[in-house]
Amino acid sequence: MLTTVLLIAINFSKLVLGFFVVGWVTGTAQYFFAARIRTCGLSLSDGCSLSDSECLLAFSEGGLIGAIVAVPTGLVAWFAILQTKATDAQVRTVVLGSVIGGSVLGAAMGLLSVFATPVLTLALAGIVRVRATPPETRDPVRA
């Protein structure tokens, strides 16, 4: 009994840590693109060199915001939408879609993309779940 509870706690902790790390990476990339594209575009000339402080700000502030937002978003996606039945490939699709999509949203929307990226992540999880369900077992009322 105690070992089962301990195993569940360890697995849940690993899950939350994974959401935290993915959120940190997504938030860092998103913050960097949101700040960088608006001021310099993709140019590294004309006074738009890549500075240490710019990278540190994206890593610390953007990463922290991304991690804080990613934990509840990840828990909803994993337990409510995917219902803990996702394969590694499906999780990879959602994670990479969130990182790439968050970066594109950061470049397009600026810092407001922090509110759109969780919606994108949940939509990707829903799409992955629907595509994994065979058509003959789908509920026609909900489809």
Q: How far apart are CA 104 and CA 89, in angstroms?
A: 22
37-63 pLDDT per residue, tens: 777 766 666 667 677 887 888 888 889
Listed by start position, the domains of the chain span 26-36+50-131
> What are the start-end ranges of the E strands in 1-143?
none
Separation between Cα atoms, residue 94 and residue 121, nearest integer Å: 7
pLDDT greater than 60 at residue 1: yes
Provide the 8-state DSSP code for 69.
H
pLDDT for res 112: 83
pLDDT in tens, 77-131: 999 998 888 888 999 999 999 989 988 888 888 878 889 999 999 999 999 998 8
- 136: which DSSP letter? G
Single-letter residue type at 54: E
DSSP per residue, 94-132 = HHHHHHHHHHHHHHHHGGGHHHHHHHHHHHHHHHHHHHH
The pTM score is 0.81
Mean pLDDT, residues 23-37: 85
